[in-house]
């Protein structure tokens, strides 16, 4: 008879999963071996948190489940941050942790994850949609099915199962996990009310968030904007949901926001249509009360934060953004087309960009973003890590194709973009994948580049290096006039760090060096790290938040 580990591996393989990521430990070895037997490649990460990030990137790019495995105790606690990051992205990731045999419960055990030790089930609950321990082999089918249903349907997100060693090795009668199709996507009851409000508005504005990525609602939101002729701006996390060169695009607002979006808001709007955003402080930085519209229509799956950030009359359109927009577009023949002229607002961004200057042997981060857009193929998928480096991209990096830029403005774990990009490349090896990161993020999770080398994931890692935690450094300087604990006495040499792990490494201090390095990196079969030495004193577009 097969073991529980064999049944789990077979079911995951039948779901089309080709990779799982993690670090082995005694309690999870049976599962890892069975996965290899079933043809699921186990990607050895350098840290369990990195494994969780890689699994999340794999899930997001592949539109499927990601799997991360860690041993009991610290193996599990190391994955908590990755689970929280996956939850912020509504990414379906199954986190599996081990546990010593249940027959030993209550005794003093090394790396005990039960209620007698470090209770991983309880720890994972706030950062997942479901967390449970399988203590009886007879319950594995229902527990696993419930976990996968929670992860893959509705709001989607990470789940966690703790499976003791003796459960994994228990033999059981073969059984098939039933296919489930629980996704029933209803249309909001407020859709007709929203349609009426939109048609009556004199000067509406669309504000797009990360939820457009999650719902894969790119075409719907583009058609919506074009049909009603409504200008569009994006949140930091919504970057990549709308082409920035589109005539209706104002670029981003909030941290990393453009002058065009601020200028248009300042000219006065009567309706703000928010789609897929919690409206966090990063998204509303610079959105003062004098800019408030008369009305907000808020499309969101979760109503928790609706009406709390902008205190004006708000109409909730609850549910899946794609499905609700599809319903709205059924009435496009009744659209009240708006008249807009954005040219005067967009001119301000051109003037601002031309004003960026280089200083000494280092480059302007703003100009690097413009140069990268020229150097990278339009289908390149970029994952922005958390730091000022990505806020430069949010403001200055043009989006040609929707769904090619991802950034989290909610949880914001430094270093997560490194793992996300590796998982994305493994999920879709035929597209160029770039990770935009900084020296601070590289110090945290840069060793996962070694994982990319082993897995032959030829990601292009672009590291902006100015020897400091730039966003915090400039924020402290701007708000309190001095800094502390933000600058490295000995700066990272990312080029040599990359080469020590088997990746290609380049250090660039001029635009010509950058051009040459990107050209070489795009043609390489191995991961490439391009270290860009950027100005220490350049002020990032993150000063709107106090």
pLDDT computed for residue 291 by the predictor: 93
Q: What is the mean pLDDT of residues 386-391?
A: 93
Q: What's the pTM value of the predicted model, to 2 decimals? A: 0.94
Read off the pLDDT of each residue in 371-390 and give the average, rounded to a whole number.
96
φ and ψ at residue 525, rounded to 5 degrees: -90, -15
**The predicted structure's pLDDT at residue 1:** 82
Do the Cβ atoms of 205 and 273 come closer than 8 Å?
A: yes
Average pLDDT over residues 317-344: 88
Percentage of the chain surpassing pLDDT 70? 93
- pLDDT (tens digit, 9 = 90+) per residue, 120-148? 999 999 999 999 999 998 889 889 999 99
Put the strands of the sheet holding 232-234 in their side by side order: 249-252, 232-234, 204-208, 271-275, 295-300, 313-318
The C-alpha atoms of residue 121 and residue 104 are separated, in whole angstroms, by 17
Domains defined for the chain, CATH in brackets: 4-168 (3.40.50.970), 191-345 (3.40.50.1220), 356-533 (3.40.50.970)
Query: Who contacts 537 (Cβ-Cβ below 8 Å, separation ≥6)?
Result: 359
For tokens 């919690």, the residue is: 278
Strand-pairing partners, residue 412, are none
Helices (H) and strands (E) in the chain, counts: 23, 18
Whole-number pLDDT of residue 478: 81
Residue 336, pLDDT score: 85
Does 119 have pLDDT greater than 50?
Answer: yes
Q: 273: which strand partners?
A: 206, 297
Answer whether 526's CB lies under 8 Å from 504's CB. yes
Query: Which tokens belong to 232?
Result: 């569009």
Closest by CA to 127, choosing from 59, 237, 195, 49, is 49
- Put residue 413 in one of left, alpha, beta given phi > 0 → left and psi -120 to 50 → alpha: beta
pLDDT, tens only, 46-90: 999 999 999 999 999 988 999 999 999 999 999 999 999 999 999
Burial 404-438 (b: 16+ CB within 10 A, else e): bbbbbbbebbbbbbbbbbbbbbbbeeeebbbbbbb
Average pLDDT of the chain is 91
pLDDT in the model for residue 359? 55
Place of tokens 């300087």: 477
Tell me: pLDDT of 348 over 80: no
Q: What does the pLDDT look like over 464-487, one tens digit per residue?
A: 999 988 888 788 888 888 888 889
Buried/exposed code over 263-276 (b: 16+ C-beta within 10 A; e: otherwise): bbbeeebebbbbbb
- Over range 198-212, report the average pLDDT: 96
């Amino acid at each position: 008879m097969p073991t529980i580990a064999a049944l789990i591996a077979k079911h995951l393989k039948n779901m089309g999963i080709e990779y799982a990521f993690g670090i082995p430990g005694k309690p999870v070895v049976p599962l890892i071996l069975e996965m290899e037997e079933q043809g699921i490649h186990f990607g050895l990460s350098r840290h369990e948190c990195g494994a969780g990030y890689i699994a999340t990137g794999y899930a997001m790019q592949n539109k499927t489940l990601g799997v991360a495995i860690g041993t009991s105790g610290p193996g599990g606690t190391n994955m908590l941050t990755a689970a929280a990051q996956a939850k912020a992205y509504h990414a379906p990731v199954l986190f599996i942790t081990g546990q010593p045999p249940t027959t030993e419960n209550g005794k003093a055990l090394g790396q005990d994850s039960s209620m007698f030790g470090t209770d991983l089930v309880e720890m994972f609950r706030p950062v997942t949609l479901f967390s449970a321990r399988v203590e009886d082999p007879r319950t594995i089918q229902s527990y696993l099915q419930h976990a996968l249903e929670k992860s893959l349907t509705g709001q989607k997100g990470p789940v966690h199962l703790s499976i003791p060693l003796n459960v994994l090795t228990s033999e059981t009668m073969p059984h098939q996990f039933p296919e489930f199709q629980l996704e029933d996507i209803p249309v909001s009851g407020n859709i007709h009310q929203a349609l009426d409000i939109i048609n009556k508005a004199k000067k509406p504005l669309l504000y797009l968030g990360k939820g457009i990525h999650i719902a894969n609602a790119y075409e719907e939101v583009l058609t919506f904007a074009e049909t009603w002729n409504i200008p569009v701006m994006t949140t930091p996390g919504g970057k990549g949901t709308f082409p920035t060169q589109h005539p209706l695009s104002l670029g981003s607002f909030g941290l990393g926001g453009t002058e065009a979006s601020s200028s248009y808001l300042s000219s006065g709007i009567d309706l703000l249509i928010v789609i897929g955003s919690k409206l966090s402080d990063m998204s509303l930085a610079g959105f003062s009360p004098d800019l408030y519209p008369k009305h907000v229509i808020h499309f969101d799956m979760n109503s928790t934060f609706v009406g709390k950030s902008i205190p004006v009359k708000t109409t909730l359109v609850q549910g899946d953004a794609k499905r609700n927009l599809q319903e709205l577009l059924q009435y496009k023949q009744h659209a009240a087309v708006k008249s807009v002229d954005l040219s005067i607002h967009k001119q301000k961004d051109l003037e601002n960009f031309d004003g960026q200057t280089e200083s000494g042997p280092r480059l302007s981060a703003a100009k690097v973003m413009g140069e990268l857009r020229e150097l990278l193929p339009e289908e390149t998928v970029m994952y922005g890590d958390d730091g000022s480096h990505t806020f430069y991209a949010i403001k200055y990096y043009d989006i040609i194709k929707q769904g090619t830029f991802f950034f989290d403005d909610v949880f914001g774990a430094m270093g997560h973009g490194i793992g996300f990009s590796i998982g994305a490349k493994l999920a879709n090896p035929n597209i160029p994948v770039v990770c935009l990161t900084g020296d601070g993020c590289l110090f945290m999770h840069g060793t996962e580049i070694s994982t990319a080398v082993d897995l032959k994931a030829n990601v292009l890692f672009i590291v902006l290096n100015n020897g400091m935690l730039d966003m915090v450094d400039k924020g402290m300087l701007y708000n309190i006039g001095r800094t502390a604990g933000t600058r490295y006495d000995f700066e990272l040499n990312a080029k040599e760090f990359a080469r020590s792990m088997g990746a290609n490494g380049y250090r660039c201090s001029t635009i010509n060096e950058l051009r040459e390095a990107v050209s070489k990196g795009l043609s390489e079969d191995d991961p490439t790290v391009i270290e860009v030495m950027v100005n220490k004193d350049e002020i990032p577009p993150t000063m709107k938040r106090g």
